Structure 1
Amino acid sequence: MSKDIGPWRRLSNKTVYENPWIRVEHHEVITPGGTEGIYGKVCFQSKAVGVLPLDEEGYTYLVKQFRYPLEVESWEIPEGGCPLDASAVATARKELAEETGLRAQRCFKLMDMHLSNSVCDESAEVFLALDLTQGEADLEPTEDIEVQRLALHEAIAMAMDGRITDAISVAALLKLRILLSECGGDMTKLLSTLAEVA
C-alpha cells in the first residue's frame, strides 16, 4: 500500500466518509521532512464548472444564492457540478440555462482551476458564454436563486471590493478583465486567444 506521492510517502489510505458528492480519506504519511504524520483529503465525485455569460451590450449575469456551508448569501457567476465522465462545457451550458434561462450559442474555455488544493482534489473548468438568448430558468429543488443583469465593469467592481467572494467567480471576472485590457477592449482579438468549445 505504501506509495511515493512526490516528496511524500503514503503509508495507508482509508475512506472514513462517503456520499454522492464527496469522499473523505484518512492517510498515514511520511512528510517531505521525513516525519510521520496524517493527511485528510476530500475527494470530489464531480468537477466544478462555471460560466461567465456576456451579452452583446457588454452586460453579464450573476446569481445570488444561499450557500449552506458558509451560512451566507453569495453573488456568483452560474456554476454547478459536472460528473467526472461528462462534458464540462455541456454541463456549463445546462447550468447557465437552469439558473438564468440563458442559452449560449458559443462558449470559450476561460480557465482551469484547483480549489482549496491543500485539503481537496476539486478542480474546475470555467467558460465564457456568448451569443445569448433568453428562455425560462429551471431551478433544481435545492436552489433559490435571484438573477441580476449588470454591466461587466460593475461585476468586476464587485469582485474587487469583496461583494463577490466565490473563488471561481472572482477568478473568472478578473481574468476576463485582464484579457480585455491586454486586447485593448477588442473582443474579436480576445476571442482569438481562447479556444472555442462545442
Structure 2
Amino acid sequence: MSQKPSWMRSHGAPWKSTGSRAVYDNPWLTVSEHDAVSPTGRAARYGVVGFKNIATGVVPLHEDGTVTLVGQNRFAHRDYSWEVPEGGAPKGEDPLKGAKRELREETGLIAADWSLILQAQLSNSVTDEVAYGYLATGLKAGKAAPDETEDLAIARVPFREALDAAVAGHMPDMLTLALLLRVHHMAVQGELPHGLARLVLG
C-alpha cells in the first residue's frame, strides 16, 4: 500500500470505553454495549458488533477480460445478491488462505497469481469488521464445493458489464463494488498488463 498523504493525519481525542458488557454471542459475531466517552467529552452508550472472522473477497479475472460472479439469496436483506466470491477467514489465519478456499469452494476456480488490492473497514460506525480483497488471475477450472447452506449460481461476464451493473446499484454488496472499482482503477493507472487493462476498460 502507498504512503498516506500528509492531510490524512488524525486530530482530536479518540473515543474511550469505560466499561463494556456482552449482549449477544454466537460462533460468528458478538454484540457488546459500551459506556463510552466521545471525542467531545460527552458520555455516550455505544453498541458494537464484533466479527470473529475477517471478510475476504476475490475478483477472479480471466485472461479474456471476463470475471466470475456468484449469485445467492442473502438472509439479512431477504434479497438475491450477485457478488464476487466472498467469505471469511478466522482471525489468526492468513486472509489469503481464506480467500483461496472461498474461491475454490464457491466457483471451483484455482488461481496461479494472487494480489492483495484492497483493505477496508466495511461498516466502521457500528462494527469492527475488516476486509481483504484480492485479484486472482491465471485461473483454471476445478470442482466447486459450496457450504451446505449455500445454493449458488455462477456467471462469467465481461468485466465492464459487471462494473456497470455494480455502479448502477444492481450489485449493492459493498465489497463487490469496492473491488470492481479498484480493479478498474488499476487498469487506468497502468497496474495491470496492457492487454488485460484494455479488456477491463472495455
Residues 1:11 and 1:53: Cα distance change in structure 2 (over 3 Å): same
Counterpart Cα distance in 2 of 1:108 and 1:11: 40
Matched ranges for 1:115-194 at <5 A = 115-183=122-190, 186-187=193-194
1:60 aligns with 2:52: no
User: In the comparison of the two structures, how many residue pairs are matched?
Assistant: 186
Structure 2 stretches lacking a partner, 5+ long: 1-12, 198-202
Q: Deviations over 1:41-93 (max 9, x none)?
A: 01100100001001111110000111100100001000001000111111111
The residue type equivalent to 1:64 in the other structure is G
Counterpart Cα distance in 1 of 2:180 and 2:83: 10
Equivalent residue for 1:18, pick from 16, 25, 31: 25
The residue type equivalent to 1:21 in the other structure is W
Q: Percent identity?
A: 37
Q: Which has the higher strand share?
A: 1
Equivalent residue for 1:43, pick from 50, 55, 62: 50
Residues 1:185 and 1:43: Cα distance change in structure 2 (over 3 Å): closer
The residue type equivalent to 1:101 in the other structure is G
Tell me if the contact between 1:65 and 1:144 (Cα under 8 Å) persists in the aligned partners: yes
Task: Give how far 1:7 is off.
Answer: 2.6
Counterpart Cα distance in 2 of 1:10 and 1:158: 41
Structure 1 stretches lacking a partner, 5+ long: 1-5, 191-198
Counterpart Cα distance in 1 of 2:104 and 2:191: 31
TM, length-normalised to structure 2: 0.87
Tell me if the contact between 2:65 and 2:196 (Cα under 8 Å) persists in the aligned partners: no
Task: Give how far 1:185 is off.
Answer: 6.4
Q: How much is the aligned-residue C-alpha RMSD, in angstroms?
A: 1.8
Tell me if the contact between 1:66 and 1:73 (Cα under 8 Å) persists in the aligned partners: yes
Tell me if the contact between 1:10 and 1:29 (Cα under 8 Å) persists in the aligned partners: yes
Give runs of ≥4 in structure 1 deviating > 3 Å.
184-190
The residue type equivalent to 1:183 in the other structure is G
Counterpart Cα distance in 2 of 1:44 and 1:184: 32
Residues 1:75 and 1:133: Cα distance change in structure 2 (over 3 Å): same
**SS of equivalent residue, structure 1 residue 7:** coil
**SS of equivalent residue, structure 1 residue 99:** helix
Tell me if the contact between 2:16 and 2:38 (Cα under 8 Å) persists in the aligned partners: yes
Counterpart Cα distance in 2 of 1:125 and 1:185: 19
